[in-house]
Amino acid sequence: MRRLRAEFLRHNGATVVRLTGDVDLSNVRALEARLAAAEAVDAPWMVVDLTGMGFVDSTVLGALLRLERRLAGAGRGLSVLAHDGRVSRVLRIGGLGSLLRSSPTRG
């Protein structure tokens, strides 16, 4: 399993969290800590970029759902960026399709 890494950026007024690596039950707390750090930045919109993720499961879905609820409660928005493929399928099946923005698959 690849180590989880997060890079924080600002783009057009949004906070962007670019994640790489893999997340499952063993390290979901690390994911949640990184998302909380990005959430603390007062921006009206947050983008979680999963294009560098190799594996996601229900633990990632749960973390993103909790984040979306907190942001919505504060009047803020969330988008999730993923390649068309396995990660985006998991997000759609898990009920996060409305947050999903696609990115071209890397060649």
CA distance 54 to 12: 27
3-state secondary structure (DSSP) of residue 103: strand
Tell me the backbone φ, ψ of residue 104, rounded to 5 degrees: -60, 140
- What is the average per-residue pLDDT within 54-83? 91
Residue 35 structural domain: 5-103
pTM as predicted: 0.88
Q: Which two tokens stand for residue 47?
A: 């983008």
Residue 106's pLDDT band, with cuts at 50, 70 and 90, is very low
**Which amino acid is residue 46, in one-letter code?**
M
22-67 residue pLDDT tens: 888 899 999 999 999 999 998 999 999 999 987 888 899 999 999 9
Task: Identify which has the larger pLDDT, 64 or 86.
Answer: 64
CATH number of domain containing 69: 3.30.750.24
Number of domains the chain is built from: 1
